[in-house]
Amino acid sequence: MSLPLRDPPRAANLSTAGPVQWPLIGVATLLVLLLLLTPSLLSPGSPVAGSPQTQAVLVVYFGAAGNRTQAEFQVQGVEPAVYAHISVGIARALPWPPVDGGRALSFGRWVNTSNEFSNSVLASPMPLAVNVTAIFTDRSGGTAYYVGLYAFNVSGSSLVILALTPSLMGNAPTSLPLSELPFPLPLALVPAGSRG
């Protein structure tokens, strides 16, 4: 008795397996690439000096302290960043509006900090001027200087703001209702050689 003959095995016919899902293959490929590249894009390393992650701002707070009004000025980063040095100077009893673009102002009180996230100063009465320098140094030694010179006065229920740093003129509000405070004011990034 002989065994029945069978047909030899055939290779799979792709045309009967259904259409190839190219969009699905493309999405899967992009997901694999994203998984491979994400660790390098989101590395927890230190930000680079001068990058948006190191941008410093002057936050203005305003309120009552006892029987007088008081302003608080805090220099901090838009995102958490440790600054190598932050200086905040206060000039009081200035003429309003300040003459000579603030060049004649005398900053009698300075508050300095090193290796901090922020620096805060309480001040009154108005009008007054605030001079700020924040220095960020990254791990490679790159340095960014953020500077700003602002004058402040109260008029009714508004805080009048004069940006005296030329590169900040037109980039900061000129008046804010006291009810909208605290409010961050920009500081200018200046080249390391000029320092504002």
The predicted-structure confidence for 1-25, as pLDDT tens digits, reads as follows 566 666 666 655 555 555 667 777 7
Band of pLDDT at residue 194, cut at 50, 70 and 90: very low
Do 148 and 156 meet the contact criterion of CB atoms below 8 Å apart? no
Does a structural domain hold residue 136?
yes
Band of pLDDT at residue 128, cut at 50, 70 and 90: very high
Number of independent structural domains in the chain: 1
Confidence check: pLDDT of 179 > 60: yes
Does a structural domain hold residue 14?
no
pLDDT of residue 133: 95
133 versus 117: the higher-pLDDT residue is 133
The sign of the CA dihedral 74, 79, 80, 81 is: negative
Q: Would you list the DSSP string of 44-68?
A: -PPPPTTSGGG-EEEEEEEEEETTE
Does a structural domain hold residue 75?
yes
Q: What mean pLDDT value characterizes the chain?
A: 81
Per-residue pLDDT tens for 53-109? 899 999 999 876 555 667 889 999 888 889 999 999 999 888 888 888 788 888 887
pLDDT of residue 36: 63
Lowest mean pLDDT among 10-14, 32-36, 120-124, 173-177: 10-14
Question: Domain containing 157: what range?
Answer: 52-190
Does a structural domain hold residue 44?
no
Band of pLDDT at residue 40, cut at 50, 70 and 90: very low
Mean pLDDT across the stretch 41-46?
57
134 versus 42: the higher-pLDDT residue is 134
Do 47 and 81 meet the contact criterion of CB atoms below 8 Å apart? yes
Does a structural domain hold residue 74?
yes
Mean pLDDT across the stretch 34-58?
74
Does a structural domain hold residue 45?
no
pLDDT of residue 13: 55
pLDDT of residue 164: 93
Do 57 and 134 meet the contact criterion of CB atoms below 8 Å apart? no
Rounded Cα gap, residues 88 and 107, in angstroms: 9
Lowest mean pLDDT among 10-14, 101-105, 128-132, 156-160: 10-14
Does a structural domain hold residue 36?
no
Does a structural domain hold residue 33?
no
Band of pLDDT at residue 192, cut at 50, 70 and 90: low
CATH number of the domain that residue 133 is part of: 2.60.40
